[in-house]
Amino acid sequence: GGIYKSGKWRFIQISAHTKKPLSANNTWALFTGLKTADLPITNGAALSAVADEKYGNISAYVSNTGSIKIMTGGKDLVAGRTIAITGWYLAVL
């Protein structure tokens, strides 16, 4: 997985594994340091996110500060979960 580029289009397909628990109703930066050319045109480019073990609702987005973040739902996301993040957006270029 990773970020695939085609012109201004960015396609994301990432699988991450949590080493520590992530508390409920919070925002967590999973990845940082995206290059300026990979930042979204608008802050908060929405992505699709899901955690294994029928965890429940989480969401993901790309911020204009160069981070891919997730927002946890109403219960803690325990350590050892796999999070899949996919989606696409237009980059600033």
Q: Taking phi first (over 0 means left), then psi (-120 to 50 degrees means alpha), and beta for anything else, what does residue 56 get?
A: left
- Strands 27-31 vs 82-90: parallel, antiparallel or unpaired: unpaired
Instruction: Give every residue of the chain whose pLDDT is below 70, as ranges.
Output: none
21's CB contacts (< 8 A; 6+ apart) are 76, 77, 78, 79
pTM score, whole prediction: 0.90
Question: Tens digit of pLDDT for each residue in 16-42?
Answer: 999 999 999 999 999 999 999 999 998
What's the pLDDT at 15? 95
Tell how far CA 31 is from the center of its chain. 8
User: Cα separation of 88 and 80, whole Å?
Assistant: 26
What's the pLDDT at 55? 80
